[in-house]
């Protein structure tokens, strides 16, 4: 308990770390100890809102009176919390509190977090022309404030859980009382509480641990860097997850429909948005199947290609030394390498490399007769279609399966591609996110999941999420 807290134990907590500061203060003849972590706390605020009131305004005959007085407003700070034990002291210190030890009486944590943090900026990946420009940042409290600004309802619940034995990462479960199914919230909290790991720092670790590390390339959590998208998800009756240190929010459950939606859809009229969604689904099919189909048709089922096209393709393939399968799979690998180059190089250089790689090297390879123009077109179209998908995780899963289907097409033609597609359908059919089936939008009686519903007709929330209040409007 607090009474057992002693100065030497607290000093030993951080093992003499360079950023751990201790200040001794004299107050009414008693010595108080103030601890803070430099960089996480503001020096000015500590002096003004902790030290000054402690030294100038606190009076009392015993240390216990001083402690009680400080806790009840003698030290005017917005947050003053008693520390229960040594772990609590450590937790408060790493969260930007200044802990003052009243020897023999207890310790109080005063909030003096530094103002040094990245402010909300426009989202880099999920850009919209007309939508809001406030993207989520690495600081969880900034993110919760952004969400509160979009959703001013007092029913918004933000439950905090600490995950990670060493990282002590603050995770906030966001949901709306009266809309979100309590079962979904419970499932999410249960999963978070069952995570017993050292650190929850990277997006990959969050996604894997929260979803139970299923053997799939498809995302089982939807991420967003947009505060408005996050809020729309909550209003749908989904559960949100904010992780301190990550500039994004997670939404669960997720299904194929959510992954194919873009925030931009809600910035357009429903006719245009629906047409673009249809195009997006076509892009998904092309991106997934085009290389596999091309390999299957050119290797096994040439009779399915119209004669003029076949003649043109044969003519262009005459001097190419590699079989179609090798050509396409090789180009797909080259395409992936170019993408990786673009990611790891600085933005300006990355763009140049992608342009040089894609256009110059591709054209030169065709002219030199290393690859046929048809194969280059097929891989480029599949790649571009992959970029149309709004969710990067989903696009990456499609990239993985594209290779598989290409290999099956090379091995067994359309039969192989069909087998691969059946395997994919079975795989997707078996996936669930917070126990909601991944393909639910396509087998329930609700709207088809592809078209954007007209706003005035969007009266009800999705039944599959089992919301407490199904009616949205009217």
Partner 1 sequence: MKKWLIMVLALLAFAVLPTSGTELGELHPVSLLMVRSRGKQIQLYTDTLDRGEGETLDAALKNLEDTTPGHLFLDTVEYLILTERTKYLIPQLKQLLRPGAAVCIGEEELDMQALPEYLKTHAPQTSLRDADEKTPLQKLSNSEERFFLEK
Q: Is 415 in the site for partner 1 (CB under 8 A)?
A: yes
Q: Which stretch binds partner 1 (CB under 8 A): 195-203, 335-343, 405-413, 465-473?
A: 405-413
CA 23 – CA 15 distance, rounded (Å): 16
CB of 267 to partner 1, least distance (A): 44
**Stretch near partner 1 under the rule CB under 8 A, chosen from 193-201, 217-225, 285-293, 409-417:** 409-417
Nearest CB to partner 1, comparing residues 178 and 369: 369
Task: State yes or no: residue 313 binds partner 1 (CB under 8 A).
Answer: yes
97 binds partner 1 (CB under 8 A): no
411 near partner 1, rule: CB under 8 A: yes
What is the 3 state secondary structure string of the chain? CHHHCCHHHHHHHCCCCCCEEEEEEEECCEEEEEEEEECCECHHHHHHHHHHHHHHHCCCCCHHHHHHHHHHHHCCCCCEEECCCHHHHHHHHHCCEEEEEECCCEEEEEECECCCCCCCCCCCCCCCCCCCCCECCCCHHHHHHHHHHHCCCCCEEEEEEEECCCCCEEEEEEEECCCCCHHHHHHHHHHHHHCCCCCCCCHHHHHHHHHCCCCCCCCCCEEECEHHHHHHHHHHCCEEEEECCCCCEEEECCCHHHHCCCHHHHHCCHHHHHHHHHHHHHHHHHHHHHHHHHHHHHHCCHHHCCHHHHHHHHHHHCCCCCCHHHHHHHHHHHHHHHHHHHHHCCHHHHHHHHHHHHHHHHHHHHHCCCCCHHHHHHHHHHHHHHHHCCCHHHHHHHHHHHHHHHHHHHHHHHHHHHHHHHHHHHHHHHCEECCEECCHHHCCCCCCCCCCCCHHHCCECCHHHCCCCCECCC
363-398: b (≥16 Cβ within 10 Å) or e: eebbeeeebbbbbbebbbbbbebbebbbbebbbebb
CB of 404 to partner 1, least distance (A): 12
CB 121 within 8 A of CB 221: no
**Given 171, 252, 320, 376, the residue binding partner 1 (CB under 8 A):** 320
Question: What is the greatest pairwise CA distance in the chain?
Answer: 102
Kindly tell me which residue out of 40, 235, 266, 412 binds partner 1, with binding defined by CB under 8 A: 412
Residue from 1, 129, 307, 348 binding partner 1 (CB under 8 A): 307
Instruction: Give the residue with the Cβ less far from partner 1, 78 or 303.
Output: 303
| Total of residues contacting partner 1 (CB under 8 A) | 23
78 lines the binding site for partner 1 (CB under 8 A): no
Residue 214 C-beta: closest distance to partner 1, Å: 14
Closest to partner 1 by CB, 94 vs 423, is 423
Residue number with CB closer to partner 1 (403 or 415) = 415
Residue 416: CB minimum distance to partner 1, A: 7
Q: Is 416 in the site for partner 1 (CB under 8 A)?
A: yes
Report if residue 94 touches partner 1, rule: CB under 8 A: no
CA distances from 79 to 37, 303, 460, 461 (A): 17, 76, 41, 39
CB closer to partner 1 out of 66 and 325: 325
299 part of the interface to partner 1, by CB under 8 A: yes
Identified binder of partner 1 from the candidate list 62, 302, 347, 355, rule CB under 8 A? 302
Distance CA 389, CA 287 (A): 9
User: Least Å distance between CB 296 and partner 1?
Assistant: 8
Binding partner 1 (rule: CB under 8 A), the pick from 8, 303, 445, 473 is 303
Q: Does 298 interact with partner 1 (rule: CB under 8 A)?
A: yes
Among 92, 238, 317, 462, binds partner 1 (CB under 8 A): 317
324 belongs to the binding site for partner 1 (CB under 8 A) = yes
Q: Which CB, 317 or 461, lies closer to partner 1?
A: 317
Q: Would you say 176 or 365 has its CB closer to partner 1? A: 365
Residue 213 lies near partner 1 (rule: CB under 8 A): no
Please report how close the Cβ of residue 412 comes to partner 1 at its closest, in angstroms: 5
Establish if 314 lies at the interface with partner 1 (CB under 8 A): yes
Task: Return the residue of 209, 250, 258, 300 that touches partner 1, per CB under 8 A.
Answer: 300
- Out of 40, 419, 451, 453, the only residue in the binding site for partner 1 (CB under 8 A) is 419
Question: Which positions from 353 to 392 touch partner 1 by CB under 8 A, shown as an x/- string?
Answer: ----------------------------------------
Spatial neighbors of 426 by CB under 8 A, at least 6 apart, are none
Residue 217 or 423 having the CB closest to partner 1: 423
For partner 1, the binding residues (CB under 8 A) are 298-300, 302-303, 307, 310-311, 313-314, 317-320, 323-324, 411-413, 415-416, 419, 423
């Amino acid at each position: 308990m607090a009474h057992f807290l002693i100065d030497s134990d607290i000093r030993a907590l951080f093992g003499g770390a360079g950023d751990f500061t201790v200040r001794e203060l004299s107050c009414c003849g008693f010595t108080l100890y103030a601890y803070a972590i430099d960089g996480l706390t503001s020096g000015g605020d500590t002096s003004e809102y902790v030290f000054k009131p402690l030294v100038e305004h606190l009076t009392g005959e015993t240390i216990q009176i001083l402690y009680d007085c400080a806790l009840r407003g003698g030290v005017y700070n917005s947050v003053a919390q008693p520390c229960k034990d040594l772990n609590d002291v450590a937790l408060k210190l790493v969260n930007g509190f200044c802990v003052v030890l009243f020897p023999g009486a207890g310790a109080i944590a005063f909030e003096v977090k530094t103002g040094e943090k990245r402010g909300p900026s426009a989202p880099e990946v999920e850009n919209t022309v007309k939508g809001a420009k406030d993207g989520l940042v690495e600081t969880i409290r900034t993110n919760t404030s952004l969400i509160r600004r979009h959703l001013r309802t007092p029913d918004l619940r933000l439950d905090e859980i600490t995950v990670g034995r060493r990282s002590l990462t603050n995770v906030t479960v966001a949901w709306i009382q009266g809309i979100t199914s309590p079962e979904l919230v419970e499932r999410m909290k249960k999963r978070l509480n069952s995570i017993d790991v050292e650190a929850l720092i990277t997006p990959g670790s969050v996604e894997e641990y929260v979803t139970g590390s299923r053997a799939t390339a498809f995302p089982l959590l939807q991420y967003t860097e947009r505060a408005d998208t996050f809020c729309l998800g909550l209003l749908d009756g989904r559960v949100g997850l904010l992780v301190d240190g990550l500039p994004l929010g997670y939404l669960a459950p997720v299904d194929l429909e959510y992954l194919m939606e873009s925030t931009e859809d809600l910035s357009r009229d429903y006719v245009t948005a629906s047409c673009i969604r249809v195009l997006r689904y076509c892009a998904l099919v092309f991106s997934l199947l085009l290389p596999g189909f091309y390999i299957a048709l050119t290797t096994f089922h040439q009779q399915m290609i119209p004669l003029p096209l076949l003649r043109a393709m044969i003519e262009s393939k005459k001097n190419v030394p590699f079989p179609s399968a090798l050509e396409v799979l090789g180009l797909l690998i080259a395409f992936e390498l170019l993408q990786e180059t673009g990611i790891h190089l600085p933005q300006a250089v990355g763009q140049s490399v992608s342009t040089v790689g894609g256009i110059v090297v591709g054209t030169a390879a065709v002219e030199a007769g290393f690859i046929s123009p048809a194969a280059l077109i097929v891989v480029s179209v599949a790649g571009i279609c992959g970029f149309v998908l709004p969710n990067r995780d989903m696009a990456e899963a499609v990239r993985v399966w594209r290779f598989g289907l290409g290999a099956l097409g090379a091995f067994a033609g359309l039969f192989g591609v069909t087998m691969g597609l059946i395997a994919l359908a079975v795989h997707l059919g078996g996936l669930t996110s917070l126990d909601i089936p991944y393909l639910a939008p396509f087998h329930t009686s609700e709207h088809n999941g592809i078209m954007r519903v007209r706003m005035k007709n969007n009266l009800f929330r999705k039944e599959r999420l089992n919301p407490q209040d199904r009616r949205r409007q009217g």
